């Protein structure tokens, strides 16, 4: 199990996301951004907009995804 924060994944806060692999952490970040946006948290809006825009550009999204996977792989186990 490893932990990455919202900020490590491009967000504005230190909310921790724990998972067995990078995909679990990335999915937790996606859910976190959606929840914060729905709650009216404007500090997360920019990160949510960037996430949505990334997926419209496959190369950009894959670069981000690979970077997140590398960062996760380099983390120590919790």
Beta bridge partner(s), residue 5: 16
Distance CA 7, CA 47 (A): 9
Segments of the chain assigned E as strands: 2-5, 16-19
Largest CA distance in the chain: 34
- pLDDT confidence of residue 31: 96
> Residue 15: what pLDDT?
97
Is the pTM above the cut of 0.85? yes
What is the Cα–Cα distance from 60 to 77, expressed in whole angstroms? 28
pLDDT at 55: 80
| H-helix or E-strand spanning residue 21 | none
Residues of the chain with pLDDT under 50: none
């Amino acid at each position: 199990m490893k932990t990455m924060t919202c900020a490590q994944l491009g967000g504005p806060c230190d909310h921790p996301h724990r998972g067995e692999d990078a995909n679990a952490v990335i999915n937790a970040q996606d859910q976190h951004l959606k929840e914060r946006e729905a709650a009216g948290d404007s500090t997360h809006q920019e990160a949510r907009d960037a996430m949505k825009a990334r997926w419209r550009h496959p190369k950009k999204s894959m670069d981000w995804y690979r970077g997140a996977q590398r960062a996760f792989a380099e983390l120590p186990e919790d």
